[in-house]
Amino acid sequence: TQLLEQSPQFLSIQEGENLTVYCNSSSVFSSLQWYRQEPGEGPVLLVTVVTGGEVKKLKRLTFQFGDARKDSSLHITAAQPGDTGLYLCAAEMDSSYKLIFGSGTRLLVRP
Amino acid sequence: DSGVTQTPKHLITATGQRVTLRCSPRSGDLSVYWYQQSLDQGLQFLIQYYNGEERAKGNILERFSAQQFPDLHSELNLSSLELGDSALYFCASSVSSGRNEQFFGPGTRLTVL
């Protein structure tokens, strides 16, 4: 059983469309991170959210942390082919220094 | 470029063999983490070292071991290799305080034949 559930698993959209991916758990997080990984490369940290209800923007990407700190979403506006990749959420749940990763959302943006 | 380096980039070996993967963290980072990524299991945490000492352990097999040296580089040793050990192995580093933001290396692709 995944502690962090990500949905959808796969998403294929046309350039210019908007999309939202979700990261959910029954546990409370002290913080949550979003990473993007391209094939054959390591994950790259996009953002860290800490406070319940927090919203952070990174250009066309908007990250939201749920009020109860159990879930998060990533919204991409006007997706571009360069956004293609595997989006991973990760959380440190019990101050154990271990990051638990979700299974990821694989995004393909078609030109 | 995250500042984390890993060698080798690719490794092909046979079942039963032993290999060593190497990682150099970002300058100033005291923590090193090792992860295994396979198609069916996703990114799995193996082990963490902080300033030379083991700090946290994940789903690491007994055939696997790691250490962090005084210069803070780390090695992951995989022995008695099996076909199922074929995967990408990532090293990450962090300052290891506060939010535990980790910076990943480019990975080592291990193929066991």
Q: Looking at residue B90, what is its pLDDT? A: 97
Would you call B31 an interface residue with chain A, using a CB distance cutoff of 8 Å?
Answer: yes
Task: Point out the residue among B58, B103, B104 whose CB comes nearest to the CB of A98.
Answer: B58
pLDDT at A18: 97
- The token pair at B47 is 């082990």
Task: Return mean pLDDT, chain B.
Answer: 92
Q: pLDDT tens for residues A29-43?
A: 888 999 999 988 999
Containing structural domain, residue A35: 5-110
DSSP annotation string for A78-99: S--GGG-EEEEEEEE-SSSSPP
Residues of chain A contacting B101 with CB distance shorter than 8 Å: 33, 45, 48
> Residue B43 and residue A98: Cβ atoms within 8 Å?
no
Instruction: Please tell me the total count of domains within chain A.
Output: 1
DSSP code of residue B13: E
User: In this predicted model, what pLDDT tens digit does every residue of B30-82 receive, in sequence order?
Assistant: 999 999 998 777 889 999 999 999 988 888 999 999 999 999 999 999 999 99
- Pick the residue from chain B with its C-alpha nearest to A31: B99
Q: Which residues of B2-13 are buried (b: 16+ CB within 10 A; e: fewer)?
A: bebebeeeebeb
Q: How far is B96 from chain A (nearest CA, A)?
A: 8
Q: Work out the percent of chain B whose per-residue pLDDT is above 90.
A: 77
The whole-number pLDDT of residue A30 equals 82
The confidence band for A96, taking pLDDT boundaries of 50, 70 and 90, is: low
Q: Taking CB atoms and an 8 Å cutoff, what residues of chain B touch A4?
A: none
Closest residue in B to A92 (Cα–Cα): B100
Q: How confident is the model at residue A92 (pLDDT cuts 50, 70, 90)?
A: confident
Comparing CB atoms, the residue among A33, A50, A104 nearest residue B42 is A104
B-chain residues within 8 Å CB-CB of A35? 104
Asked whether residue A85 carries a pLDDT value surpassing 90, the answer given is: yes
pLDDT of residue A39: 85
For residues B80-100, average pLDDT: 87
CATH number, domain of A100, equals: 2.60.40.10
